[in-house]
Homo-oligomer: A and B are copies of this chain.
Amino acid sequence: MKKPVSNNVIRRLPRYLRKLEELENSGITRLSSGEFAKILGSTSSQIRQDLNAFGGFGQQGYGYHVPDLRAEIARILGMDRGHQAVLIGVGNIGKALLEKFSFNDCGVQLTAAFDVKQELIGTDQQGVPVWSIDALPEYLALHPTDIAVLCVPKSQAMPMAELLTEQGIDAIWNFTNVDVVKPSSQMMVENVHFSDSLLSLSYFLAEHQDEKRRLKNRS
């Protein structure tokens, strides 16, 4: 029986992976947890603890082998599963994902996009065919799909999530800013809330400005 790994650890792994890819690309093959901590702005005990949750991968006196550790983390993150995805809603954010985001680099194959706009239907966006939204149920029935990337307008978010649930989709990558499923739902949802990110920045900025003011008043 595997011990469940905390959400916070999972959230740190993609960043570890990004850094390891950079290191590997610059030809570095060996790394101590101290060096890795420095690069990440973290601590070596944090990193060791996080990686130990999956059995550890370092060797006493050697540290980490960068390509191996990268491959292990990629595997843990399910990047070798061949997850299939469709994108629903080719507006600005949908287009930005199609044009700039590499699904392949995450081990995800984006097989099709769907929209209501006649001028988009039948076109090819960066190698991804755009279908009519009406064809979605049939498409999903024929093409086993794991992830729906949801980029529809707010008003369409809930009905679309219901349709995806009916079609047996397991996971929604949700850009709609609407909480599309109930907490009781089996559907896995990863919400991308831009506001959450901006508000966290706003908090740290406010703290920082208070600190600057305190220092100024003291001098």
Contact = CB atoms under 8 A, between A and B. Distances in A.
Interface string A101-114: 11101111000000
Contact of A106 (B103, B147, B202): B202
**Integer count of this chain's copies in the complex:** 2
Contacts of A188: 201, 204-205, 208
A199 B101 contact: no
Interface residues of A, number: 59
Interface string A132-150: 0000000000000011000
A171 B198 CA distance: 10
10 contacts: A10-B200, A14-B200, A15-B196, A18-B195, A77-B202, A81-B209, A96-B96, A170-B208, A188-B201, A190-B197
Given A14-B196, A93-B96, A107-B202, 16 more contacts: A10-B203, A13-B200, A14-B193, A17-B199, A18-B196, A76-B203, A77-B200, A77-B206, A78-B203, A92-B92, A92-B95, A106-B202, A108-B198, A146-B209, A170-B209, A190-B201
